[in-house]
Structure 1
Amino acid sequence: MPTDAPLTGPTPITPAARTRWIWEVSLVLAISVGQSALYSVLSLIRASLRTTPIGQQQTQLNPAQDTEALWDAFYRLLSVGFALATVALVVYLLWEPGTNALRRIGLDFTRFGGDLGRGVALAAIIGIPGLGLYALARVTGFNVAVVASPIDSAWWAVPLLVLSAMRAGLTEEVIFIAYLFDRLRRIGWSWWTIILSTAALRGAYHAYQGLGAVLGNFVMGVVFGWCYKRWGRVMPLVIAHTLLDVVAFVGYPLAASLWPGVFAPAS
Protein backbone atom coordinates (compact mmCIF):
# COMPACT_ATOMS: atom_id res chain seq x y z
CA MET A 1 0.00 0.00 0.00
CA PRO A 2 1.38 3.49 -0.79
CA THR A 3 2.77 5.36 2.19
CA ASP A 4 0.40 8.25 1.54
CA ALA A 5 -2.73 6.10 1.07
CA PRO A 6 -5.77 7.52 2.93
CA LEU A 7 -6.74 4.17 4.43
CA THR A 8 -5.00 4.07 7.79
CA GLY A 9 -7.85 5.66 9.74
CA PRO A 10 -9.77 8.90 10.09
CA THR A 11 -8.09 12.03 11.40
CA PRO A 12 -10.05 13.66 14.24
CA ILE A 13 -11.96 16.69 12.93
CA THR A 14 -14.04 19.45 14.42
CA PRO A 15 -17.86 19.52 14.13
CA ALA A 16 -17.54 22.44 11.70
CA ALA A 17 -15.20 20.44 9.46
CA ARG A 18 -17.51 17.43 9.60
CA THR A 19 -20.43 19.61 8.54
CA ARG A 20 -18.36 20.93 5.65
CA TRP A 21 -17.52 17.37 4.47
CA ILE A 22 -21.19 16.38 4.67
CA TRP A 23 -22.22 19.35 2.54
CA GLU A 24 -19.41 18.69 0.07
CA VAL A 25 -20.35 15.01 -0.32
CA SER A 26 -24.03 15.91 -0.73
CA LEU A 27 -23.27 18.46 -3.46
CA VAL A 28 -20.89 16.13 -5.33
CA LEU A 29 -23.50 13.36 -5.29
CA ALA A 30 -26.24 15.78 -6.36
CA ILE A 31 -24.37 16.68 -9.56
CA SER A 32 -22.94 13.25 -10.36
CA VAL A 33 -23.63 9.64 -9.42
CA GLY A 34 -26.22 10.43 -6.75
CA GLN A 35 -28.38 12.27 -9.26
CA SER A 36 -28.03 9.40 -11.73
CA ALA A 37 -28.89 6.85 -9.02
CA LEU A 38 -32.11 8.69 -8.16
CA TYR A 39 -33.20 8.85 -11.80
CA SER A 40 -32.30 5.17 -12.19
CA VAL A 41 -34.43 4.12 -9.20
CA LEU A 42 -37.34 6.19 -10.51
CA SER A 43 -36.91 4.47 -13.88
CA LEU A 44 -37.19 1.06 -12.20
CA ILE A 45 -40.29 2.14 -10.25
CA ARG A 46 -41.88 3.45 -13.42
CA ALA A 47 -41.06 0.23 -15.27
CA SER A 48 -42.62 -1.86 -12.49
CA LEU A 49 -45.85 0.17 -12.68
CA ARG A 50 -46.35 -0.45 -16.40
CA THR A 51 -48.75 -3.15 -17.52
CA THR A 52 -45.96 -4.76 -19.55
CA PRO A 53 -43.84 -7.07 -17.32
CA ILE A 54 -40.31 -5.86 -16.60
CA GLY A 55 -38.87 -8.89 -18.39
CA GLN A 56 -40.54 -7.77 -21.62
CA GLN A 57 -39.26 -4.20 -21.45
CA GLN A 58 -35.90 -2.96 -22.67
CA THR A 59 -33.32 -0.25 -22.15
CA GLN A 60 -30.36 0.81 -24.25
CA LEU A 61 -26.72 1.23 -23.38
CA ASN A 62 -25.15 4.38 -24.87
CA PRO A 63 -28.23 5.49 -26.83
CA ALA A 64 -27.71 7.66 -29.88
CA GLN A 65 -27.48 11.39 -29.24
CA ASP A 66 -28.51 12.36 -32.77
CA THR A 67 -29.90 10.71 -35.89
CA GLU A 68 -26.91 11.87 -37.97
CA ALA A 69 -23.80 9.78 -37.30
CA LEU A 70 -21.31 12.67 -37.30
CA TRP A 71 -23.33 14.82 -34.90
CA ASP A 72 -23.97 11.78 -32.75
CA ALA A 73 -20.18 11.32 -32.46
CA PHE A 74 -19.70 14.98 -31.48
CA TYR A 75 -22.37 14.78 -28.79
CA ARG A 76 -20.95 11.53 -27.44
CA LEU A 77 -17.49 13.08 -27.19
CA LEU A 78 -18.93 16.07 -25.34
CA SER A 79 -20.77 13.71 -22.97
CA VAL A 80 -17.52 11.88 -22.19
CA GLY A 81 -15.69 15.18 -21.69
CA PHE A 82 -18.24 16.61 -19.26
CA ALA A 83 -18.35 13.35 -17.29
CA LEU A 84 -14.57 13.37 -16.95
CA ALA A 85 -14.78 16.98 -15.77
CA THR A 86 -16.73 15.68 -12.76
CA VAL A 87 -13.95 13.17 -12.11
CA ALA A 88 -11.42 16.00 -12.30
CA LEU A 89 -13.52 17.99 -9.83
CA VAL A 90 -13.47 15.30 -7.15
CA VAL A 91 -9.72 14.76 -7.66
CA TYR A 92 -9.29 18.51 -7.19
CA LEU A 93 -11.34 18.34 -3.97
CA LEU A 94 -9.13 15.51 -2.74
CA TRP A 95 -5.96 17.51 -3.38
CA GLU A 96 -4.23 18.78 -0.26
CA PRO A 97 -1.09 20.90 0.20
CA GLY A 98 2.03 18.75 0.18
CA THR A 99 0.31 15.65 -1.22
CA ASN A 100 -0.46 14.27 -4.65
CA ALA A 101 -4.13 13.29 -4.76
CA LEU A 102 -3.66 10.97 -7.74
CA ARG A 103 -0.89 9.08 -5.99
CA ARG A 104 -2.78 9.10 -2.69
CA ILE A 105 -5.78 7.29 -4.22
CA GLY A 106 -3.61 5.14 -6.48
CA LEU A 107 -4.74 6.61 -9.80
CA ASP A 108 -1.29 6.70 -11.39
CA PHE A 109 1.05 4.48 -13.39
CA THR A 110 3.71 3.85 -10.75
CA ARG A 111 2.54 0.24 -10.30
CA PHE A 112 0.82 -0.32 -13.61
CA GLY A 113 1.96 -3.91 -14.08
CA GLY A 114 0.48 -5.03 -10.78
CA ASP A 115 -2.60 -2.87 -11.27
CA LEU A 116 -3.19 -4.39 -14.70
CA GLY A 117 -2.88 -7.95 -13.38
CA ARG A 118 -5.26 -7.24 -10.51
CA GLY A 119 -7.67 -5.44 -12.82
CA VAL A 120 -7.84 -8.32 -15.30
CA ALA A 121 -8.34 -10.82 -12.47
CA LEU A 122 -11.12 -8.69 -10.96
CA ALA A 123 -12.82 -8.34 -14.34
CA ALA A 124 -12.89 -12.13 -14.68
CA ILE A 125 -14.08 -12.68 -11.10
CA ILE A 126 -16.89 -10.15 -11.49
CA GLY A 127 -17.68 -10.52 -15.17
CA ILE A 128 -18.19 -14.26 -15.56
CA PRO A 129 -20.66 -14.69 -12.64
CA GLY A 130 -22.23 -11.35 -13.61
CA LEU A 131 -23.01 -12.64 -17.07
CA GLY A 132 -24.70 -15.67 -15.55
CA LEU A 133 -26.66 -13.48 -13.14
CA TYR A 134 -27.86 -11.29 -16.00
CA ALA A 135 -28.97 -14.33 -17.99
CA LEU A 136 -30.81 -15.71 -14.94
CA ALA A 137 -32.46 -12.34 -14.25
CA ARG A 138 -33.60 -12.16 -17.88
CA VAL A 139 -35.05 -15.67 -17.83
CA THR A 140 -36.88 -15.04 -14.54
CA GLY A 141 -38.13 -11.61 -15.65
CA PHE A 142 -36.29 -9.48 -13.06
CA ASN A 143 -34.22 -7.56 -15.62
CA VAL A 144 -35.20 -5.52 -18.63
CA ALA A 145 -33.53 -6.46 -21.90
CA VAL A 146 -30.34 -4.40 -22.26
CA VAL A 147 -29.83 -3.39 -25.88
CA ALA A 148 -26.30 -2.46 -26.88
CA SER A 149 -25.54 0.30 -29.35
CA PRO A 150 -24.79 -0.98 -32.87
CA ILE A 151 -21.11 -1.19 -33.73
CA ASP A 152 -21.43 -1.03 -37.52
CA SER A 153 -22.92 2.44 -37.95
CA ALA A 154 -19.56 4.21 -38.56
CA TRP A 155 -15.86 3.49 -38.24
CA TRP A 156 -15.61 5.56 -35.06
CA ALA A 157 -18.36 3.62 -33.27
CA VAL A 158 -15.99 1.19 -31.51
CA PRO A 159 -13.46 3.85 -30.36
CA LEU A 160 -16.34 5.92 -28.95
CA LEU A 161 -17.72 2.91 -27.10
CA VAL A 162 -14.27 2.23 -25.65
CA LEU A 163 -14.10 5.87 -24.54
CA SER A 164 -17.53 5.46 -22.94
CA ALA A 165 -16.25 2.40 -21.08
CA MET A 166 -13.25 4.36 -19.80
CA ARG A 167 -15.56 7.18 -18.72
CA ALA A 168 -17.74 4.76 -16.76
CA GLY A 169 -14.71 3.15 -15.11
CA LEU A 170 -13.23 6.47 -14.04
CA THR A 171 -16.52 8.09 -13.02
CA GLU A 172 -17.81 5.23 -10.89
CA GLU A 173 -14.56 4.09 -9.28
CA VAL A 174 -13.07 7.52 -8.58
CA ILE A 175 -16.35 8.85 -7.11
CA PHE A 176 -17.92 5.73 -5.56
CA ILE A 177 -14.63 4.42 -4.19
CA ALA A 178 -11.74 6.87 -3.96
CA TYR A 179 -13.68 10.05 -3.19
CA LEU A 180 -16.49 8.68 -1.00
CA PHE A 181 -14.14 6.40 0.94
CA ASP A 182 -11.91 9.37 1.77
CA ARG A 183 -14.70 11.74 2.74
CA LEU A 184 -16.92 9.28 4.62
CA ARG A 185 -13.91 7.99 6.55
CA ARG A 186 -13.07 11.55 7.57
CA ILE A 187 -16.67 12.09 8.66
CA GLY A 188 -16.23 9.11 10.95
CA TRP A 189 -17.99 6.22 9.25
CA SER A 190 -16.69 2.68 9.83
CA TRP A 191 -15.12 0.74 6.97
CA TRP A 192 -17.96 -1.72 6.49
CA THR A 193 -20.56 1.04 6.71
CA ILE A 194 -18.73 2.80 3.89
CA ILE A 195 -18.32 -0.35 1.81
CA LEU A 196 -21.96 -1.40 2.13
CA SER A 197 -23.34 2.13 1.65
CA THR A 198 -21.32 2.85 -1.49
CA ALA A 199 -22.18 -0.62 -2.84
CA ALA A 200 -25.89 0.12 -2.29
CA LEU A 201 -25.49 3.45 -4.11
CA ARG A 202 -23.75 1.63 -6.98
CA GLY A 203 -26.66 -0.82 -7.14
CA ALA A 204 -29.17 2.04 -7.23
CA TYR A 205 -27.10 3.69 -9.98
CA HIS A 206 -27.84 0.67 -12.22
CA ALA A 207 -31.46 0.11 -11.13
CA TYR A 208 -32.79 1.16 -14.55
CA GLN A 209 -31.63 -2.28 -15.80
CA GLY A 210 -33.72 -4.18 -13.25
CA LEU A 211 -33.40 -5.92 -9.89
CA GLY A 212 -30.77 -8.34 -11.16
CA ALA A 213 -28.51 -5.42 -12.04
CA VAL A 214 -29.07 -3.89 -8.60
CA LEU A 215 -27.96 -7.11 -6.89
CA GLY A 216 -25.03 -7.70 -9.25
CA ASN A 217 -23.67 -4.18 -8.89
CA PHE A 218 -24.13 -4.26 -5.11
CA VAL A 219 -21.96 -7.38 -4.94
CA MET A 220 -19.46 -5.73 -7.28
CA GLY A 221 -19.37 -2.68 -5.02
CA VAL A 222 -18.66 -4.81 -1.94
CA VAL A 223 -15.83 -6.64 -3.70
CA PHE A 224 -14.34 -3.45 -5.12
CA GLY A 225 -14.64 -1.65 -1.79
CA TRP A 226 -12.88 -4.47 0.05
CA CYS A 227 -10.13 -4.50 -2.60
CA TYR A 228 -9.60 -0.74 -2.29
CA LYS A 229 -9.35 -0.95 1.47
CA ARG A 230 -6.80 -3.73 1.12
CA TRP A 231 -4.74 -2.32 -1.76
CA GLY A 232 -5.17 1.42 -1.32
CA ARG A 233 -5.23 1.87 -5.11
CA VAL A 234 -8.17 2.70 -7.35
CA MET A 235 -6.35 1.98 -10.65
CA PRO A 236 -7.03 -1.81 -10.62
CA LEU A 237 -10.72 -1.06 -10.12
CA VAL A 238 -10.76 1.42 -13.01
CA ILE A 239 -9.05 -1.14 -15.25
CA ALA A 240 -11.45 -3.92 -14.23
CA HIS A 241 -14.52 -1.72 -14.71
CA THR A 242 -13.30 -0.48 -18.09
CA LEU A 243 -12.67 -4.03 -19.30
CA LEU A 244 -16.12 -5.13 -18.14
CA ASP A 245 -17.78 -2.26 -19.98
CA VAL A 246 -15.73 -2.75 -23.14
CA VAL A 247 -17.05 -6.31 -23.22
CA ALA A 248 -20.59 -5.08 -22.50
CA PHE A 249 -20.52 -2.22 -25.01
CA VAL A 250 -18.57 -3.89 -27.82
CA GLY A 251 -18.91 -7.63 -27.15
CA TYR A 252 -22.59 -7.54 -26.24
CA PRO A 253 -23.87 -7.11 -29.84
CA LEU A 254 -21.97 -10.28 -30.77
CA ALA A 255 -23.52 -12.18 -27.86
CA ALA A 256 -26.95 -10.86 -28.84
CA SER A 257 -26.53 -12.22 -32.35
CA LEU A 258 -25.42 -15.63 -31.07
CA TRP A 259 -28.01 -16.02 -28.27
CA PRO A 260 -30.87 -13.63 -29.12
CA GLY A 261 -33.29 -15.34 -26.74
CA VAL A 262 -31.17 -14.37 -23.74
CA PHE A 263 -29.19 -11.29 -24.73
CA ALA A 264 -31.62 -9.51 -27.00
CA PRO A 265 -35.28 -8.56 -26.69
CA ALA A 266 -37.78 -10.68 -28.49
CA SER A 267 -38.89 -9.24 -31.79
Structure 2
Amino acid sequence: MSTVESRHRIGAEIWIVLGLSLGKAAVYSIVSITARLTDGAPLAQQTATLNASQAERSWLDLTYQLLGIGFGLVPVALALFLLSARGRGSLARIGLDRARPGLDVAWGVALAAVIGIPGLAFYSVGRALGITVHVQASALNDHWWTVPVLLLSALYNGLLEEIIAVAYLYERTHDLGWGRVRFIVASSLLRGSYHLYQGIGPFLGNVAMGVLFSWFYTSPRFRSDGRHRVIPLVVAHTLLDVVAFVGYALVPEEWLVAMGAA
Protein backbone atom coordinates (compact mmCIF):
# COMPACT_ATOMS: atom_id res chain seq x y z
CA MET A 1 0.00 0.00 0.00
CA SER A 2 1.37 3.41 -0.95
CA THR A 3 2.02 6.14 1.60
CA VAL A 4 -0.82 8.24 0.16
CA GLU A 5 -3.27 5.32 0.40
CA SER A 6 -2.14 4.62 3.95
CA ARG A 7 -2.69 8.23 4.98
CA HIS A 8 -6.15 8.21 3.41
CA ARG A 9 -7.08 5.04 5.31
CA ILE A 10 -5.84 6.51 8.59
CA GLY A 11 -7.78 9.70 7.97
CA ALA A 12 -10.93 7.72 7.17
CA GLU A 13 -10.43 5.60 10.27
CA ILE A 14 -10.17 8.69 12.48
CA TRP A 15 -13.38 10.12 11.06
CA ILE A 16 -15.21 6.82 11.53
CA VAL A 17 -14.12 6.43 15.17
CA LEU A 18 -14.95 10.05 15.98
CA GLY A 19 -18.22 9.80 14.07
CA LEU A 20 -19.26 6.97 16.34
CA SER A 21 -18.21 8.73 19.53
CA LEU A 22 -16.90 12.17 20.47
CA GLY A 23 -17.17 13.68 17.00
CA LYS A 24 -20.85 12.84 16.93
CA ALA A 25 -21.22 14.34 20.40
CA ALA A 26 -19.43 17.49 19.22
CA VAL A 27 -21.82 17.96 16.29
CA TYR A 28 -24.87 17.51 18.50
CA SER A 29 -23.33 19.88 21.04
CA ILE A 30 -22.81 22.58 18.39
CA VAL A 31 -26.43 22.20 17.30
CA SER A 32 -27.52 22.32 20.95
CA ILE A 33 -25.65 25.55 21.76
CA THR A 34 -26.99 27.11 18.56
CA ALA A 35 -30.52 26.21 19.65
CA ARG A 36 -29.87 27.60 23.12
CA LEU A 37 -28.45 30.89 21.83
CA THR A 38 -31.42 31.38 19.51
CA ASP A 39 -34.03 30.25 22.02
CA GLY A 40 -34.67 33.72 23.39
CA ALA A 41 -33.96 32.81 27.00
CA PRO A 42 -30.52 33.75 28.39
CA LEU A 43 -28.06 30.89 28.80
CA ALA A 44 -27.98 31.50 32.55
CA GLN A 45 -31.68 30.60 32.74
CA GLN A 46 -31.29 27.31 30.86
CA THR A 47 -30.40 23.88 32.26
CA ALA A 48 -28.34 20.95 31.00
CA THR A 49 -28.82 17.57 32.69
CA LEU A 50 -25.90 15.13 32.58
CA ASN A 51 -27.36 11.99 34.14
CA ALA A 52 -31.08 11.90 33.52
CA SER A 53 -33.59 9.26 34.49
CA GLN A 54 -34.71 7.14 31.51
CA ALA A 55 -37.85 5.54 32.95
CA GLU A 56 -40.19 5.80 35.92
CA ARG A 57 -39.86 2.12 36.87
CA SER A 58 -36.66 1.50 38.82
CA TRP A 59 -35.58 -1.74 37.13
CA LEU A 60 -36.23 -0.32 33.67
CA ASP A 61 -34.32 2.87 34.43
CA LEU A 62 -31.37 0.81 35.69
CA THR A 63 -31.49 -1.32 32.54
CA TYR A 64 -31.40 1.74 30.29
CA GLN A 65 -28.55 3.29 32.30
CA LEU A 66 -26.40 0.15 32.07
CA LEU A 67 -27.16 -0.35 28.39
CA GLY A 68 -26.21 3.25 27.66
CA ILE A 69 -22.86 2.85 29.42
CA GLY A 70 -22.15 -0.54 27.89
CA PHE A 71 -22.92 0.39 24.29
CA GLY A 72 -21.23 3.76 24.80
CA LEU A 73 -17.94 1.94 25.41
CA VAL A 74 -18.09 0.11 22.08
CA PRO A 75 -16.24 2.94 20.24
CA VAL A 76 -13.50 2.65 22.89
CA ALA A 77 -13.23 -1.06 22.17
CA LEU A 78 -13.10 -0.27 18.44
CA ALA A 79 -10.32 2.28 18.89
CA LEU A 80 -8.27 -0.15 20.99
CA PHE A 81 -8.93 -2.95 18.49
CA LEU A 82 -7.69 -0.79 15.63
CA LEU A 83 -4.57 0.18 17.56
CA SER A 84 -3.94 -3.48 18.41
CA ALA A 85 -3.30 -4.19 14.73
CA ARG A 86 0.23 -3.00 15.42
CA GLY A 87 0.87 -5.92 17.75
CA ARG A 88 0.44 -7.00 21.35
CA GLY A 89 2.44 -4.04 22.64
CA SER A 90 -0.04 -1.44 21.38
CA LEU A 91 -1.96 -1.09 24.63
CA ALA A 92 1.27 -0.82 26.58
CA ARG A 93 2.37 1.87 24.11
CA ILE A 94 -0.49 4.14 25.26
CA GLY A 95 -0.01 3.17 28.89
CA LEU A 96 -3.14 1.07 29.25
CA ASP A 97 -1.43 -1.56 31.39
CA ARG A 98 -0.41 -2.29 34.97
CA ALA A 99 3.23 -1.31 34.62
CA ARG A 100 3.12 1.31 37.40
CA PRO A 101 -0.33 1.41 39.06
CA GLY A 102 0.73 3.36 42.13
CA LEU A 103 2.40 6.15 40.18
CA ASP A 104 -0.43 6.29 37.64
CA VAL A 105 -3.02 6.74 40.38
CA ALA A 106 -0.87 9.34 42.14
CA TRP A 107 -0.52 11.39 38.95
CA GLY A 108 -4.22 11.00 38.31
CA VAL A 109 -5.10 12.39 41.73
CA ALA A 110 -2.66 15.27 41.19
CA LEU A 111 -4.16 16.12 37.81
CA ALA A 112 -7.67 16.01 39.27
CA ALA A 113 -6.61 18.41 42.01
CA VAL A 114 -5.02 20.79 39.48
CA ILE A 115 -8.13 20.77 37.27
CA GLY A 116 -10.83 20.64 39.95
CA ILE A 117 -10.62 24.11 41.51
CA PRO A 118 -10.04 26.03 38.23
CA GLY A 119 -12.92 24.03 36.74
CA LEU A 120 -15.27 25.24 39.45
CA ALA A 121 -13.97 28.75 38.90
CA PHE A 122 -14.69 28.56 35.14
CA TYR A 123 -18.21 27.37 35.90
CA SER A 124 -18.87 30.03 38.53
CA VAL A 125 -17.50 32.85 36.40
CA GLY A 126 -19.43 31.57 33.41
CA ARG A 127 -22.64 31.53 35.42
CA ALA A 128 -21.96 35.05 36.69
CA LEU A 129 -21.32 36.30 33.14
CA GLY A 130 -24.41 34.53 31.81
CA ILE A 131 -22.47 32.40 29.30
CA THR A 132 -22.95 29.06 31.08
CA VAL A 133 -26.15 27.10 31.60
CA HIS A 134 -27.11 25.60 34.94
CA VAL A 135 -25.55 22.14 34.83
CA GLN A 136 -27.54 19.52 36.74
CA ALA A 137 -24.97 16.77 37.29
CA SER A 138 -27.51 14.15 38.32
CA ALA A 139 -31.26 13.89 37.89
CA LEU A 140 -31.55 10.21 38.74
CA ASN A 141 -34.23 9.24 41.19
CA ASP A 142 -33.15 7.99 44.61
CA HIS A 143 -32.62 4.23 44.17
CA TRP A 144 -30.24 1.72 45.73
CA TRP A 145 -28.33 1.69 42.44
CA THR A 146 -28.09 5.46 41.94
CA VAL A 147 -24.58 5.94 43.33
CA PRO A 148 -23.11 2.79 41.69
CA VAL A 149 -24.50 3.89 38.31
CA LEU A 150 -23.07 7.38 38.78
CA LEU A 151 -19.68 5.82 39.57
CA LEU A 152 -19.90 3.71 36.41
CA SER A 153 -20.91 6.79 34.43
CA ALA A 154 -17.87 8.65 35.72
CA LEU A 155 -15.58 5.77 34.74
CA TYR A 156 -17.28 5.56 31.35
CA ASN A 157 -16.59 9.24 30.67
CA GLY A 158 -12.98 8.86 31.72
CA LEU A 159 -12.39 5.86 29.45
CA LEU A 160 -14.27 7.27 26.46
CA GLU A 161 -12.77 10.74 26.44
CA GLU A 162 -9.19 10.02 27.43
CA ILE A 163 -8.66 6.91 25.32
CA ILE A 164 -10.24 8.37 22.18
CA ALA A 165 -9.57 12.14 22.44
CA VAL A 166 -6.01 11.69 23.68
CA ALA A 167 -4.42 8.24 23.33
CA TYR A 168 -6.05 7.04 20.11
CA LEU A 169 -6.07 10.44 18.45
CA TYR A 170 -2.39 11.01 19.26
CA GLU A 171 -1.35 7.64 17.82
CA ARG A 172 -3.25 8.18 14.60
CA THR A 173 -2.32 11.84 14.07
CA HIS A 174 1.29 10.90 14.80
CA ASP A 175 0.99 8.37 11.96
CA LEU A 176 -0.11 11.27 9.76
CA GLY A 177 3.00 13.22 10.68
CA TRP A 178 1.38 15.73 13.02
CA GLY A 179 3.59 17.52 15.52
CA ARG A 180 2.92 17.74 19.24
CA VAL A 181 1.51 21.28 19.21
CA ARG A 182 -0.90 20.53 16.37
CA PHE A 183 -2.17 17.46 18.21
CA ILE A 184 -2.62 19.35 21.50
CA VAL A 185 -4.65 22.06 19.75
CA ALA A 186 -6.85 19.55 17.90
CA SER A 187 -7.44 17.34 20.95
CA SER A 188 -8.22 20.30 23.19
CA LEU A 189 -10.66 21.89 20.73
CA LEU A 190 -12.38 18.53 20.28
CA ARG A 191 -12.76 18.20 24.06
CA GLY A 192 -14.19 21.67 24.33
CA SER A 193 -16.54 21.22 21.37
CA TYR A 194 -18.49 18.29 22.78
CA HIS A 195 -19.07 20.28 25.98
CA LEU A 196 -20.46 23.31 24.15
CA TYR A 197 -24.04 22.34 25.04
CA GLN A 198 -23.21 23.52 28.57
CA GLY A 199 -22.27 26.99 27.40
CA ILE A 200 -19.18 29.04 26.55
CA GLY A 201 -17.65 28.76 30.03
CA PRO A 202 -17.49 24.93 30.04
CA PHE A 203 -16.15 25.03 26.48
CA LEU A 204 -13.22 27.21 27.56
CA GLY A 205 -12.71 25.21 30.75
CA ASN A 206 -12.59 21.92 28.88
CA VAL A 207 -10.23 23.34 26.26
CA ALA A 208 -7.90 24.27 29.13
CA MET A 209 -8.30 20.78 30.58
CA GLY A 210 -7.53 19.33 27.16
CA VAL A 211 -4.34 21.36 26.88
CA LEU A 212 -3.12 20.11 30.27
CA PHE A 213 -4.08 16.48 29.65
CA SER A 214 -2.68 16.25 26.12
CA TRP A 215 0.49 18.08 27.21
CA PHE A 216 0.91 15.62 30.09
CA TYR A 217 0.33 12.65 27.81
CA THR A 218 2.89 13.77 25.25
CA SER A 219 5.51 15.10 27.69
CA PRO A 220 8.66 12.93 27.76
CA ARG A 221 9.11 13.46 31.50
CA PHE A 222 5.88 11.62 32.32
CA ARG A 223 6.49 8.57 30.13
CA SER A 224 7.45 5.10 31.34
CA ASP A 225 10.27 3.49 29.35
CA GLY A 226 9.48 5.91 26.53
CA ARG A 227 5.78 4.98 26.52
CA HIS A 228 2.88 7.34 27.01
CA ARG A 229 0.55 6.88 30.00
CA VAL A 230 -3.21 7.29 29.51
CA ILE A 231 -4.25 5.74 32.85
CA PRO A 232 -3.45 8.90 34.90
CA LEU A 233 -5.81 10.82 32.62
CA VAL A 234 -8.56 8.21 33.04
CA VAL A 235 -8.09 8.29 36.83
CA ALA A 236 -8.17 12.10 36.94
CA HIS A 237 -11.25 12.38 34.73
CA THR A 238 -13.08 9.68 36.66
CA LEU A 239 -12.33 11.35 39.99
CA LEU A 240 -13.56 14.72 38.73
CA ASP A 241 -16.82 13.21 37.52
CA VAL A 242 -17.29 11.16 40.69
CA VAL A 243 -17.06 14.32 42.77
CA ALA A 244 -19.46 16.14 40.42
CA PHE A 245 -22.00 13.34 39.96
CA VAL A 246 -22.08 11.70 43.37
CA GLY A 247 -21.55 14.97 45.21
CA TYR A 248 -24.51 16.50 43.39
CA ALA A 249 -26.67 13.47 44.17
CA LEU A 250 -25.77 13.35 47.87
CA VAL A 251 -25.42 17.02 48.84
CA PRO A 252 -28.62 18.44 50.39
CA GLU A 253 -30.62 20.64 48.02
CA GLU A 254 -30.37 23.67 50.31
CA TRP A 255 -26.57 23.43 50.11
CA LEU A 256 -26.73 23.35 46.32
CA VAL A 257 -28.96 26.43 46.34
CA ALA A 258 -26.51 28.24 48.62
CA MET A 259 -23.63 27.39 46.26
CA GLY A 260 -25.61 28.47 43.22
CA ALA A 261 -25.63 24.92 41.83
CA ALA A 262 -29.37 24.36 42.00
TM norm structure 2: 0.92
Residue 235 of structure 2 is aligned with which of 239, 242, 252?
239
Q: How has the CA–CA distance of structure 1 residues 32 and 139 changed in structure 2, closer, same or farther, with 3 Å as cutoff? A: same
- CA distance in 2 between partners of 1:168 and 1:149 (Å): 14
Query: Offset at 1:148?
Result: 2.5
- Percent identity of paired positions between Structure 1 and Structure 2: 46
- CA distance in 1 between partners of 2:162 and 2:23 (Å): 14
Give 1:17's aligned residue. Answer: 6
Query: Offset at 1:41?
Result: 1.1
8 A Cα contact 1:151 1:158, kept in partner:
no
Please list every run of at least 4 consecutive aligned residues from structure 1 whose deviation after the TM superposition is greater than 2 angstroms.
96-101, 261-265
Instruction: Find out whether 1:40 has 2:29 as its counterpart.
Output: yes
Instruction: Find out whether 1:50 has 2:39 as its counterpart.
Output: yes
- CA distance in 2 between partners of 1:259 and 1:183 (Å): 42
- CA distance in 1 between partners of 2:203 and 2:5 (Å): 35
Residue 19 of structure 2 is aligned with which of 5, 30, 41?
30
Query: Offset at 1:263?
Result: 3.6
Equivalent position SS for 1:96: helix
Equivalent position SS for 2:99: coil
Query: Offset at 1:20?
Result: 0.5
- CA distance in 2 between partners of 1:51 and 1:261 (Å): 27
Equivalent position SS for 2:73: helix
- CA distance in 1 between partners of 2:173 and 2:254 (Å): 44
Give 2:255's aligned residue. Answer: 258
- CA distance in 1 between partners of 2:253 and 2:36 (Å): 22
Q: How has the CA–CA distance of structure 1 residues 259 and 71 changed in structure 2, closer, same or farther, with 3 Å as cutoff? A: closer
- Tell me the amino acid that sits aligned with residue 246 of structure 2: V
8 A Cα contact 2:184 2:210, kept in partner:
yes
Unaligned runs of 5+ in 1: 1-12
- CA distance in 2 between partners of 1:145 and 1:14 (Å): 48
8 A Cα contact 2:53 2:139, kept in partner:
no
Instruction: Find out whether 1:213 has 2:202 as its counterpart.
Output: yes
- Tell me the amino acid that sits aligned with residue 264 of structure 1: A
- CA distance in 2 between partners of 1:166 and 1:157 (Å): 14
Residue 183 of structure 1 is aligned with which of 172, 177, 200?
172
- Tell me the amino acid that sits aligned with residue 5 of structure 2: A
- CA distance in 2 between partners of 1:156 and 1:170 (Å): 21
- CA distance in 2 between partners of 1:109 and 1:243 (Å): 19
How well do the aligned residues superpose, as a CA RMSD in angstroms? 1.5
Give 1:196's aligned residue. Answer: 185
Equivalent position SS for 2:175: helix
Instruction: Find out whether 1:249 has 2:258 as its counterpart.
Output: no
For this pair of structures, how many residues does the alignment match? 253
Structure 1, 118-127 or 93-102: larger mean CA deviation? 93-102
Equivalent position SS for 1:142: coil
- Tell me the amino acid that sits aligned with residue 240 of structure 1: A
Give 2:142's aligned residue. Answer: 153
8 A Cα contact 1:133 1:216, kept in partner:
yes
Q: How has the CA–CA distance of structure 1 residues 261 and 58 changed in structure 2, closer, same or farther, with 3 Å as cutoff? A: farther
